Structure 1
Amino acid sequence: MIHEVTRGQARNGEVSLAYEMFGPSTGEPLLLIMGVGAQMLLWHEDFCLELVRRGFQVVRMDNRDAGLSTHLTHLGEPRLSDLIMRPKAAARYSLGDMAADAIAVLDDLGWPSANVVGGSLGGMIAQTMAIEHPRRLRSLTSIMSSPSARIGRATIRTSMKVAALLKHPVNTAEEAGQQLIDTYRIIGTPADTYPLDDKWLEEIGALSFQRAHDPAGKLRQQAAMLAAPDRRKALAALRLPTLVMHGTADPMIRPAGARATAEAVPGAKLVMMPGVGHGAFPREVWPIMIDNICAIAE
């Protein structure tokens, strides 16, 4: 197993994008993009290393307004009322801008093209990359995502539970670790299906707090997601190996999002993971995920 990690910074105009690379340059290039407010760390290092073992050179990145990438604090904090009622007015940038950030990472790596895997908002960014930069993708994998923020969206009850949890301020790394655990107890895989890795989540939550704690940045990312147009018509024009994966128990982006994505892209493969929730993928389903990623990338 290769454990060496190479760190880099790419640039897209004023935005600097932090990334980490695993594996030798001889591996098939694969880029991992994470979701709203999440840092690259939520792509478990062991998951990345297993992909390396299967023949990939793996890069995980921090989106703008997350982690060690640029935080666009000068753009201000969107109002919650605008996020709900007027998302286009709330948006400070677009999914197209975030897709261009990921392309800048490919450029910095010297990758003419790559297999792109995105989770949640990251899946929406990956879809946008495929639409706007089709020659840069070898394959597209969209996980726990949707072609529109309005398809498969969370129930009011789930949204209220998450909002109630996140309204409590986090002031220490320890509190951040506990908040991440509590968040995935709401949106993650139910404990009676697969147990949460509380220890890992606590560590990642604390480390993420130390790298960057930016609730306003998360809102700016949400605004970009909510303001984006429905991508189904554009996805229908893709001619690209496409994999769509989703948990049947995902309460944050419900399975309708996966079905709509797979139905939109010609020839897309849909893989539903029974009992799996949103994010923090249980180790028990890694073999299914990685086998399918490998198959679509070949």
Structure 2
Amino acid sequence: MSATTRPVSLAHDTFGDSADPAVLLVAGFGSQMISWHEDFCRELAAQGRYVIRYDNRDCGLSTKFDAYPVDLGEFVAAVNARDIEAAKAMIPYRLGDMAGDGMRLLTDLGVERAHVVGASMGGMIAQTMAIEHPDRVLSLTSMMSSTGEPGYGDSTPEAQAALFAPRPGDREGYIASADRELVWASRRYGNVAALRELAARAYDRGHCPAGTARQLGAMILSGDRAAGLRALTVRTLVIHGLDDTLIDPSGGRRTAQLVPGARLLLVPDMGHDRPRELWPTLITALARHTAPRPTA
């Protein structure tokens, strides 16, 4: 089963001047583009960057692949039984397809090359962009992500249980269930009100639980990126929070270890989130990493 040739429409918006260097922000697993807060985008744009954020396929207001329903239990059972062909037949796309979506968005916006910044699954997509489309990528920033290799970036049992526990289908229950995300948030800056506010906005804007199963399958079936990361020549920054329990900091350390010349920024008091209190640290790091390099 393949849906790689299906036209995909991506909801997106931009901040700043299109004449400035472009920064493409890639969202994580099941997360809409609004997970990159508007204020964060504006502050980064104020550093002289043309900031682009978008909904991945199967999320928010972008194209949904509802013609390919996935029973998550059946998919996990097939993977655990090593029946990879059966698992592959359930999932209509891979991370490479999602990376291609972002590249086509850049083309549609008239952007030849961009700095790509991805968080969590978005980091995996951004890594894939750099591996498969190096001519389009000015720099890579992989944030709170990993390489896809076993033994790196593992979740704690509590974080994994919170991630995969079904969320209520009604609006009130869905919003209240956002509290569970505190298990992987910054221990110092975790904010229930902010989590619930984002959950409410996401629910009202484009709630799509079926899409998350397909995104999960795409992550699992895409395998690891170790060989591609070792061969990268793209300027790379790896950012990881030391409080992260959803993707352990070993995922960031391993990414930086594999990519030649990569710079690793381990952030105290940061979990699997971007608390507003740490925006100055993150935006400063991104602004420096994406600054134009002098030409010879």
TM-score over 0.5 for the pair: yes
Q: Secondary structure at the match of 2:246?
A: coil
The separation in 2 between residues aligned to 1:46 and 1:275, in whole angstroms, is 20
Contact 2:69 2:210 (8 Å CA) reproduced: yes
1:107 and 2:107 equivalent?
yes
Contact 1:121 1:145 (8 Å CA) reproduced: yes
How many residue pairs get aligned? The number is 279
What's the counterpart of residue 180 of structure 2? 183
Cα deviation, residue 185, structure 1: 1.1
The separation in 1 between residues aligned to 2:93 and 2:50, in whole angstroms, is 30
Alignment deviations for residues 163-194 of structure 1 (CA, whole Å, 9 cap, x no partner): 33xx242212x3333222x132122111xx12
Cα deviation, residue 13, structure 1: 3.9
What's the counterpart of residue 265 of structure 1? 259
> CA 1:168–1:43 in structure 2 vs 1: closer, same or farther (change >3 Å)?
closer
What's the counterpart of residue 6 of structure 1? none
- More strand per residue: 1 or 2? 1
> CA 1:78–1:104 in structure 2 vs 1: closer, same or farther (change >3 Å)?
farther
What's the counterpart of residue 3 of structure 1? none
**Amino acid of the structure 2 residue aligned with 1:120:** S
What's the counterpart of residue 268 of structure 2? 274
* 1:112-123 matched pairs, under 5 angstroms: 112-123=112-123
**Amino acid of the structure 2 residue aligned with 1:170:** G
Q: Where do 5+ consecutive residues of structure 2 fail to align?
A: 292-296
Q: Name which of 17, 27, 31 aligns with 1:34.
A: 27
Alignment deviations for residues 226-284 of structure 1 (CA, whole Å, 9 cap, x no partner): 111211111111111100000111010001100110011000000001131102x1112
**Amino acid of the structure 2 residue aligned with 1:118:** G
- Over the residues paired in the alignment, what is the CA RMSD in angstroms? 1.7
What's the counterpart of residue 221 of structure 1? 215
The separation in 1 between residues aligned to 2:202 and 2:167, in whole angstroms, is 17
* 1:122-133 matched pairs, under 5 angstroms: 122-133=122-133
Alignment deviations for residues 3-53 of structure 1 (CA, whole Å, 9 cap, x no partner): xxxxxxxxx742111101111222211110111100000101110010011
| Greater mean alpha carbon deviation, residues 23-32 or residues 41-50 | 23-32
Cα deviation, residue 149, structure 1: 5.8
| Greater mean alpha carbon deviation, residues 269-278 or residues 148-157 | 148-157
Q: Where do 5+ consecutive residues of structure 1 fail to align?
A: 1-11
Contact 2:162 2:181 (8 Å CA) reproduced: no
Q: Secondary structure at the match of 2:194?
A: helix
What's the counterpart of residue 169 of structure 2? 170
Cα deviation, residue 81, structure 1: 4.3
% identical aligned pairs:
43
What's the counterpart of residue 233 of structure 1? 227
What's the counterpart of residue 43 of structure 1? 36
The separation in 1 between residues aligned to 2:119 and 2:220, in whole angstroms, is 16
The separation in 1 between residues aligned to 2:137 and 2:180, in whole angstroms, is 32
The separation in 1 between residues aligned to 2:73 and 2:278, in whole angstroms, is 35
Q: Secondary structure at the match of 2:17?
A: coil
